[in-house]
Amino acid sequence: MVCAIASSPFKGEPPSVAIRKASAVVALAGPVTSPEVVAKRRIDMATTFDEGAVYHKGQELPLDRAEALIRSSEEKFERTAREALADLVAELRTAGCEPVASALVSGRGKALPPLASILKSHALVHAAEGDLYRRVLLRASEACRIPALPIPEREIEARAAGAVGIRPARFAARLAALGKASGKPWTRDQKESAMVAWIALAAH
């Protein structure tokens, strides 16, 4: 059996740690019209606000030290994500499920200015941290030799419904049934990951 793995940077964090330093990962397998959830994981790339909010911390540092912190942190987060995904892939293969595609909930794709400008803007700091974690997850997926497909957040539901071949208005019930069968957790993060996994499975 083949399956698709997808991830979504967590949005359900408490406000005090609302940095996308963790990811909800969902694997779907089976026919595109009626897949099942075969795995759900949480990948924690950082465990504290200070560790994960690297651009926020960079605002407190000289530019050269901020650059070094962001670079070293990104390398560390990528190692963590790569190891976690590799473990999941190994588990799936042991269970007789071959991962053939992966996908990621992506942002708007707008280019960011140089770091010096980013660190002067709270909004840009948040955008840069979101981009950092998405880059980390994409590279981790590629390191596991699974094609990575970024899906813009605003397109997820319509594209997932199209993959199944039903109208978006009817897709919500199909997604709810998938979640009910898989059990908890089934928050917004797992739902988004399941939808992009569905898209990746259909695209394979």
The domain total for the chain is: 1
Residue 182's pLDDT is: 95
Structural domain boundaries, residue 19: 2-203
The position carrying tokens 């990528």 is 78
Structure tokens at 17: 């740690």
Radius of gyration for the chain, computed over Cα atoms and rounded to the nearest angstrom? 17
Model-level pTM? 0.87
Q: Is 145 exposed, middle or buried (0-12, 13-18, 19+ CB in 10 A)?
A: exposed
Q: Are the C-beta atoms of residues 37 and 85 closer than 8 Å to each other?
A: no
Per the CB < 8 A criterion, the answer to whether 37 and 161 are in contact is: no
| DSSP H or E segment with residue 51 | helix 49-52
Domain of 79, CATH number, reads 3.30.420.10
Which tens digit of pLDDT belongs to each residue from 4-57?
898 887 654 433 333 346 889 999 999 999 999 999 999 999 988 889 999 999
pLDDT, one tens digit per residue, over 126-168 is 999 999 999 999 999 999 999 788 999 899 999 999 999 999 8
Residues 185, 41, 168, 100: what is their CA dihedral angle, to the nearest 10 degrees? -150
Q: Which of 29, 23, 26, 32 is nearest to 52 (CA)?
A: 23
